[in-house]
Amino acid sequence: MSVLGYLVIIFLLLLAVGVPVAVSMAIASIAAIAFGTDLPMVVVGQRMLAILDSFPFLALPFFVAAGVFMDRGGITQRLVDFSAIFVGRITGGLAQVLIGTNLVMSGISGAATADCAATGSVLIPALKRAGYSAAFASALTAAAATVGPIIPPSIMFVIYGAITNVSIGALFLGGVIPGLLMGLYLMIAAYVISKRRGYPKMVTPSWREVIRITIDALPALVMPVLVLGGIVGGVFTPTEAGAVAAVFCFLISTCVYRSLKLSEVPELLLQTGILTAAIMLIVSAASLIGWILARERVPDLLVVSFMNWTSSPIVFLACINIFLLLLGFFFEAVSLLILVTPVIMPLVYNYGIDPVHFGVMMCLNLTIALIHPPIGMNMFIVCAIGKVSVRDYTREVIPFLLVLILSLICVTYIPDLVLYLPRLLGG
Amino acid sequence: MPPVSSRFSRVAAAVDRVSSGLNACAEFILWVLVALTIVVTFVQVVFRYGLDSSLSWSEELARYLFVWVIFIGASVATRRRKHIFVEILVALMPRALRASAELLSIGASIVFFSVFAYVGWLLMLNAWQQYSTALDIRIAWVYATAPIGAGLSVLHLIAGLLQRWSGNEDPSPPLHPAVEGLE
């Protein structure tokens, strides 16, 4: 059996029976090296360690830490009040507030599932009390949290940028307009549904209230400006921006909002470390697989056969999107991003597609799987909080799923949605 | 002399205590390391802008701490069963089949972490004479985390296996870690 035979068969077999993704990759690679080549086993260690010694990847734990500090720090309720000033008076006001909160929160935190749990635990009970159905509240919460990985800072952009050597700053800027577009589409969908079902508007706050709420939310609103502004202005690298964000969120949550106790901090840092390790171990094992694939000239073969089949980037992008949406039924988003990116990049360059555009498109595509069965993590979180069954949830999530796919189509075929800001500001 | 099964369960419990004790140390080290990487990188920015003098060693130190975070964190993730896996087929399996799948999963993890601990150890020895550019420390101290983290993972996995066989522990793990974390 060939090297590739060992690699693919063992990898899929182990993956299917629930072996951790990183271990499946590594064992498949070890078997392929042992039985298919005469390389020494030490290359396993060399390859797996080489990619980890990386400054760009360091942004990953930093933005995770910033996110967990914020989520625990009482920021959610303040952002809810702040969003209500702008969108509360629309029909289905609280549903609109939920989307608005997610848009702002995404500018602070880097992780979709953490945002989803934070907004869900505050807003799903509030929505239920206001007369919304539990399934609708849960579905909207899960869907709205998908803007998290697209609006900067974003852990997925950090990973994609670090793997491909594409500017993480440009990816952050590129995500802004697509993220807002997703928010807009979700708001329209929520409006139409609320109108039909007669969901209520919210009470208008007084001017004094508006001022108090704005001042209260101000520290949290400074964060996205600080991160993006600092990166665009060349004040610091994305990794340094992550450290600044983490320190900033820590200070706001402990000193300004005072809802994060110092005794809770070790547990939060521990969670950050565990999540970082789980993701980076997959990055590490995937780099080993990528190295073997490159040695067997798989990316080259892929380029030749694809280019022979079609020369149209439009067809190529459609195929990739459908392929990734299908994979989303089985694989979790971050693992998929890490595994697919290195294999696909030669094709992306050969079709003349901008890697920043492609990165934003791919991350948007992969986040969609977070909200649908069978494995969507956001879905499980909101179903647990809202106490609804997956069946009821699924019926309510379909319209939101459709508008997210619509945003994916827009982002895929209107590259300027992504590339306008990076070009303008030179990220 | 007590019956074999109870002696076995005492041995299993003892191994588990070692595993849990070392993991407690690893968890403490892990959160301190995460805090240090954040502080070091933050200080780097402060020195460059606030004090107008760039640090030469901060980036290298942050990168090396990060490598330690990854492998110490990997061992904690093993103990807490927080590694990312594809759960859809396992969730559909009948109970008996699921137990064998879990055994296979633990076995595969033991094989991988053992191989990795071994090659990590070799790399560490190879790098003994190499020194880093900015901090001038032995590169071997950076690589040391690979055999340590992987070795700890093997210990945790074996401890879990012994506990399972001795019947000390409910063998069915939670299916959805994120959901479980909420309750």
What residue numbers bound the domain in which A357 lies?
56-426
What lies within 8 Å, CB to CB, of A339 at 6+ separation is: A25, A282, A286, A289, A331
**Mean pLDDT of chain B, nearest integer:** 86
Q: Cα(A360)–Cα(A269) distance, rounded to whole angstroms?
A: 28
pLDDT of residue B169: 66
How confident is the model over A156-170, as pLDDT tens digits?
999 999 999 999 999
Examine the domain organization and report whether A86 and A208 are in the same domain.
yes
Q: What is the pLDDT of residues A287-302, one digit of tens each?
A: 999 899 988 888 889 8
* A47 belongs to a structural domain: no
Asked if residue A103 is part of any domain, the answer here is: yes
Same domain, A371 and A422: yes
- Assess if residue A273 is contained within a domain: yes
Question: What pLDDT sits at residue A224?
Answer: 83
**Residue A351 and residue A269 share a domain:** yes
Handedness of CA A115, A54, A165, A23 (dihedral sign): negative
As for how many domains chain A has, the answer is 2
Residue B90: its pLDDT value, please? 82
Q: A247 and A116, same structural domain?
A: yes
Q: pLDDT value at position A112?
A: 66
pLDDT over 50 (residue B180): no
Do A116 and A203 sit in the same domain of this protein?
yes
**Structure confidence at residue A221 (pLDDT):** 84
Is the pLDDT assigned to residue B178 strictly greater than 60? Answer: no
Neighbours of A58 (CB within 10 A): 27
Domain match, A9 and A140 both: no
- In this predicted structure, what is the pLDDT of residue A79? 87
pLDDT per residue as tens digits for the range B63-89: 999 999 999 999 999 999 888 888 778
Over residues A384-411, mean pLDDT: 95
Residues from chain B contacting residue A375 (CB–CB below 8 Å): 86-88
**ipTM of the complex model:** 0.90
- Percent of chain A with pLDDT strictly greater than 70: 99
Q: Is residue A225 part of a domain?
A: yes
pLDDT at B173 over 60: no
Burial B33-65 (b: 16+ CB within 10 A, else e): bbbbbbbbbbbbbeebeeeeeebeebbbbbbbb
pLDDT digits (tens, 9 = 90+) for A190-201: 999 999 999 988
Least confidently predicted of A70-79, A244-253, A377-386: A70-79
Do A3 and A118 lie in one domain? The reply is no
Q: Is the pLDDT of residue B168 over 80?
A: no
Overall average pLDDT of the A304-309 stretch:
91
In a domain, A393, yes or no: yes
Write the pLDDT tens digit of every residue in A130-159: 999 999 999 999 999 999 889 988 889 999
Which pLDDT value is given to residue B183?
28
Same structural domain, A4 and A130: no
Q: Same structural domain for residues A17 and A86?
A: no
Dump pLDDT digits (tens) for A255-277: 888 888 999 999 999 999 999 99
For residues A184 and A326, state if they share a domain: yes
For chain B, the three-class secondary structure string (H helix, E strand, C coil) is: CCCHHHHHHHHHHHHHHHHHHHHHHHHHHHHHHHHHHHHHHHHHHHHHHHCCCCCCCHHHHHHHHHHHHHHHHHHHHHHCCCCCECCHHHHHCCHHHHHHHHHHHHHHHHHHHHHHHHHHHHHHHHHHHCECCCCCCEHHHHHCHHHHHHHHHHHHHHHHHHHHHCCCCCCCCCCCHHHHHHC
Above pLDDT 90, what percent of chain A?
A: 59
The pTM for the full model equals 0.89
- The residues, ordered by sequence, that sit 6+ positions from A368 with a Cβ below 8 Å of its Cβ are A146, A325, A328, A401, A404, A405, A408
Same domain, A23 and A171: no
Q: Is residue A49 a part of any domain in this protein?
A: no
Say how far apart CA A362 and CA A370 lie, in whole Å.
Answer: 14
Highest mean pLDDT among A121-130, A363-372, B25-34: B25-34
Please name the residues between 339 and 368 in chain A that touch chain B, using a CB distance below 8 Å. Answer: none
Checking if the pLDDT of B39 tops 70, the result is: yes
Does the beta carbon of A13 lie under 8 angstroms from any beta carbon of chain B? no
- Which residue out of B72, B112, B175 would a mutagenesis test of the A interface target, given it has the greatest number of A Cβ atoms within 10 Å? B112
Q: Judge whether A50 lies within some domain.
A: no
Same-domain status, A4 and A90? no
In the predicted structure, residue A110 carries a pLDDT above the cut 70: no
- Is A21 in contact with B85 (Cβ distance < 8 A)? yes
Q: At what angle do helices A75-87 and A93-106 cross, to 10 degrees?
A: 120
DSSP-assigned beta bridge partners for residue B131 = B138
Give the model's confidence band at B179: pLDDT under 50 very low, under 70 low, under 90 confident, else very high.
Answer: very low
Residues in chain B closer than 8 A to A267 (CB atoms): 31
Whether residue A14 lies inside any domain: the answer is yes
Could you read off the pLDDT of A11-68 as tens digits, one per residue? Answer: 999 988 889 999 999 999 999 999 888 888 889 999 999 888 888 999 999 998 988 8
Q: What is the pLDDT of residue A111?
A: 64
pLDDT beyond 50 at A242 = yes
The Cα–Cα gap between A404 and A150 comes to 12
Angstroms from B136 CA to nearest CA on chain A: 16
pLDDT band per the 50, 70, 90 thresholds, residue B182: very low
pLDDT of residue B181: 35
Partner-chain residue, chosen from A27, A49, A58, that has the shortest CB–CB distance to B112: A27
Nearest by CB: B45 against A42, A240, A334 = A240
The number of beta carbons lying within 10 Å of the beta carbon of residue A296 is 17
